[in-house]
Structure 1
């Protein structure tokens, strides 16, 4: 039997009272199950943290000792128990260590996707599908008009830009994916990386994800036109608003983050509309609960087939 109150949203985030834990809490809590290490899903200061080893490594790099007082690491497909709820991590394909969180309670399976993507990515584990009674899915891009382009064709656009490029990207996940893709599909480019990104890259290397050639940014290097691509986090990208002698691009699935009319770089790490529908078909849920976006169009689309509840 599906418990309609299995998850509830409160001031701290997504709460499961049956296991007395939170999923990706917004504020520090006693027991936090973390899907992945991006800051909007993994806050510091929790007492007990449950996550994959990769997620814990990234959190410890970012937060140090405040990553969590007591940390429990679990591999994919290795069930563990939290407050009477059996929990299993399933690869989400979003970034290294990203996990869907399968919760089994009273013979009912609830699957929280966290952030996920279906597009191929050589810098993280691929998305895996499991069946569940309830699919709790992100709906960041749950719009029938949204279809992410082929990321390979997007990155190949860099081949046509012959001047230096200032490439904005989030430090964790996106930057590493771009480094690998540029090496694979625009190999004549020379990649420079902001100093805050380099320690993250080192964790990738330790986990066995090869990124390819890149080096630390040097001011003198960018003064020469040698088809440099300088990858920087958003705060640095914004400070170069009036930069000359470079083409400014921001890699994102969001239209509002594209900074040029003629040169765009639509590379998303989330599921688009077709990916969400495909995931529902693979998961075969009796109900779909939505989070992290507007699920109204999904609810309307599935109204004759599957019950959809908007949690946020």
Structure 2
């Protein structure tokens, strides 16, 4: 029997009372199961953190000695228990080390996707479809009007200009994917990175992921060469240099509002769009869908009379 209160939303985060642990807590807790290392899912200060090895490495860099008291790193497909709940990680395809969390209790399987994408990405493990009774899915882009374009086609837009480009990208996950795409599809470009992105790239390389050629940002290179330079910067730097001259601005994101006032729109998302969510539902074959991180109302309408859809963040 599916337990309606298996996962509940609390001010601290998603809580599983039957295992007495939190999924991606927003405050330090005793038992934290962390799907991936982005700051809105992984914070520092918890007692026991269960995650993949790559996620632990990213957290240790970001939070230093305050990352956690103890890490318990688990491989994909390795099952472990917290109290009476059996937990197994499966790749989420979002960034390196990102995991879906399969929780089994009293014969029922609950699958928490975390953030995910199902399209290929050479810089992280591919998404895995997992059968479950309850699919607890992110719904960031759960809108029939949202269809992410091909990332290959999007990055090729940069070939339409020879001018230097300031390219905004999140330091973890997005930046590494963009470096790889630039190397693959824009080979004439000299890729330079903001210093804050470099440690995350090194961790990727430590885990055997080759993102291609890049260099640390050199102001003289950018100043003396007005063509074929791409400078990848984190969001705060990108927005602080809104009056930068002699560069074309672009920001790699699925969000339309982040494309405004830029010279080139760059719709590259690391989240599942509408079609990908529907494909995931088809493959997971759940009896119920629970939605998070977005608006699940359109999914609820789409599956009316077919599947029960519960919006957890209502």
Q: TM-score, structure 2 length as denominator? A: 0.98
SS of residue matched to 2:290: strand
SS of residue matched to 2:37: coil
The answer on whether the counterparts of 1:249 and 1:259 sit within 8 Å (CA) in structure 2 is no
After TM superposition, the structure 1 = structure 2 runs for residues 1-312 of structure 1, keeping only pairs within 5 Å, are 1-223=1-223, 224-260=225-261, 263-312=264-313
Q: State the Cα distance separating 1:264 from its structure 2 match.
A: 0.5
Q: State the Cα distance separating 1:124 from its structure 2 match.
A: 0.1
The answer on whether the counterparts of 1:190 and 1:226 sit within 8 Å (CA) in structure 2 is no
The answer on whether the counterparts of 1:249 and 1:260 sit within 8 Å (CA) in structure 2 is no
CA distance in 1, matches of 2:262, 2:233: 21
CA distance in 2, matches of 1:66, 1:244: 39
Q: State the Cα distance separating 1:263 from its structure 2 match.
A: 2.1
1:46-66 C-alpha deviation (Å, 9 max, x unpaired): 011000000000000001111
SS of residue matched to 2:50: strand
RMSD: 0.8
SS of residue matched to 1:245: coil
Judged with a 3 Å threshold, the aligned counterparts in structure 2 of structure 1 residues 198 and 257 are, in CA distance, closer, same or farther, namely same
Q: Which ranges in structure 1 are unaligned for 5 or more consecutive residues?
A: none
Q: State the Cα distance separating 1:120 from its structure 2 match.
A: 1.1
Q: Which ranges in structure 2 are unaligned for 5 or more consecutive residues?
A: none
Q: TM-score, structure 1 length as denominator? A: 0.99
The answer on whether the counterparts of 2:55 and 2:97 sit within 8 Å (CA) in structure 1 is yes
CA distance in 1, matches of 2:263, 2:300: 35
Q: State the Cα distance separating 1:118 from its structure 2 match.
A: 1.1
Q: State the Cα distance separating 1:259 from its structure 2 match.
A: 3.3
The answer on whether the counterparts of 1:44 and 1:66 sit within 8 Å (CA) in structure 2 is yes
Q: State the Cα distance separating 1:137 from its structure 2 match.
A: 0.1
The answer on whether the counterparts of 2:249 and 2:263 sit within 8 Å (CA) in structure 1 is no
1:119-153 C-alpha deviation (Å, 9 max, x unpaired): 21100000000100000000000000000000000
CA distance in 2, matches of 1:168, 1:228: 14
The answer on whether the counterparts of 2:250 and 2:262 sit within 8 Å (CA) in structure 1 is no
